[in-house]
Structure 1
Amino acid sequence: MTRKVKRGTGRPRRQETDVAILDAALSIFLQAGFEGTSFEQVARRAGVSRATIYRRWASREEMIARALGRLKEESEEGAGARWEKMRLEELVEMMVEYGPKAWVDNDARRLLARVAGSVPDAPLLVQTFWEVYAAPRRAAFSAIVERARSERVLPANTDPELFQAMLGGAMMHKMLLEPGEKGEAELRAHLCAVLRQLGLGAVLDRLGR
């Protein structure tokens, strides 16, 4: 049975306090992983009381998931993302232009390692992030792929979920499993190569990639 994500109640939140807490939570999570991230440490770094955090989030998993979601939202906002309205060519252009820079700037390799390492010990963290942030974006991505399939930009038998799994898996392999630091240019070249393998060569050619 899917566990529902709890929402905090209480006094109205101050936006700057939320930001300070989530920034502190993300920073500590990147440094120390899930087990090394506590309300007490986050409160100390954010300059708030533990009670202030408890009023907002019922668990560390929910707090860290919200911090990860905020990072994702900021990256998409900077790229002018409006997923539900995008055509495939627009999405590809956004991914190629902004994705590699965001991955480098946000230390995506360490972030992926921390999230992957949380799977056995913090399933609620992964579930919360998936339900609140990943699933809606995957649904929007699938709708874009389905439109592209109906317009014959992609083959008629393209499976939107498998398409995303192959794309995401190839990028995770590059960033997480291959040794050595990865720069923006290398990640962009790899992303374009993967997209070509997925049948988007003509789209990349039109974009001059």
Structure 2
Amino acid sequence: MSAGVDRQSGRPRDPEIGAKVLLAAQRVYIRAGRAGFTFEAIAREAGVGKPAIYRRWSSAEELMRDVLGSHVLVPAHRSDSGIREQLFEIALATLRLVQSEQGTFILRVSAERQTQPELFDRYFDRLREVIHTQNRDLVEQAVRRGELAGDCDPDALLLSITGAMLVGALMGFAPDPAVAPAAAAQFCRAAVDQTLAGVLSDAPSSHNG
């Protein structure tokens, strides 16, 4: 449901309450999953009355759809200094996401994806389209420029880096960028350098990234 007007009364919505409920809903889902995703639990987490939620959303599924839609997935501006620096930025952005509250939510959704396949599959389609597909374009451009070998597989290259961030965070190898930014940056650069070692082109390039 689009923001703006109270569903039952026609009164203008309070945007602060709406944002507070969306954040509370995300946190409830992280803790309790789909089984515990109830208006009562969300109202308690948000510190609002249940009527404030019922006025805005007709069902838990509708509220979940708005939680998913509230996630900002558009990647930050990428450096134009070369593929190495671009991949470093991708690695660091991935590590920040994985170790954020939103990242924890995504992992929980992934684990329970089968409970609402139509809703959650659409979310992951959007996740791939906005993040992975755009990043793949950067790798393909680097291949065309001659920075990377012609037989470089863009998907495999990106998954090697983003997968390293995910596994590194889950297993405790990757520093948290919010706590140790310098160490996190070093971890990301090492992963990128190791991955690029086998796919750099021997042809001269104008980019020194």
Aligned pairs for 1:11-26 (under 5 A) are 11-12=4-5, 14-26=14-26
Aligned pairs for 1:21-100 (under 5 A) are 21-46=21-46, 47=48, 49-54=52-57, 58-67=61-70, 69-70=71-72, 72=73, 81-82=76-77, 88-89=83-84, 91-95=86-90, 100=95
The 3 A distance-change label for structure 1 pair 51 and 95 is same
1:167 equivalent in alignment to 2:161: yes
- Report the number of matched residues: 187
1:193 is matched with 190
Runs of 5+ consecutive residues of structure 1 not aligned to the other structure: 1-7
Q: How many angstroms apart in 2 are the aligned matches of 1:10 and 1:192?
A: 41
SS in 1 for 2:147: coil
Q: 1:150 to 1:97 in 2, by over 3 A?
A: same
Q: 1:59 to 1:36 in 2, by over 3 A?
A: same
1:147, CA displacement in angstroms?
A: 0.9
1:138 Cα deviation from its structure 2 partner: 1.8
User: Amino acid of the residue matched to residue 188 of structure 2?
Assistant: L
Per-residue deviation, 1:142 = 1.4
Q: Determine if the alignment matches structure 1 residue 146 to structure 2 residue 140.
A: yes
Aligned-partner Cα distance in 2 for 1:15–1:123: 29
Which amino acid in the other structure matches residue 65 of structure 2?
E
C-alpha distance in 1, partners of 2:65/2:79?
26
C-alpha distance 88-22 of structure 1, shift in aligned 2 (>3 A): farther
Q: Aligned partners of 1:88 and 1:18: how far apart in 2?
A: 40
Report the RMSD for the aligned CA atoms in angstroms: 3.8
Deviation digits for residues 88-108 of structure 1 (CA, Å, limit 9, x no counterpart): 35533534566545544x257
* Aligned partners of 2:142 and 2:148 also within 8 Å: yes
Structure 2: how far apart are the matches of 1:102 and 1:10? 26
Range 39-48 or range 87-96, more displaced:
87-96
Comparing 94-103 with 149-158, which one deviates more in the overlay?
94-103
Could you say which residue in structure 2 is the equivalent of 1:117?
111
How many percent identity over aligned positions? 18
Q: CA deviation at 1:82?
A: 3.0
Structure 1 pair 35–196 and aligned structure 2 pair: CA distance change class (3 A): farther
Per the alignment, do residues 183 and 93 of structure 1 end up closer, same or farther by CA in structure 2, a change over 3 Å counting? closer
Gaps of 5+ in 2: 6-12, 201-207
- Aligned equivalents of 1:195 and 1:61: distance in 2? 35
The answer to whether the 8 A contact 1:21-1:43 is kept is yes
Q: Is the 8 A contact 2:39 2:60 kept in 1?
A: no
Higher helix share: 1
- Per the alignment, residue 124 of structure 2 pairs with 130
Q: TM-score, normalised by structure 1?
A: 0.66
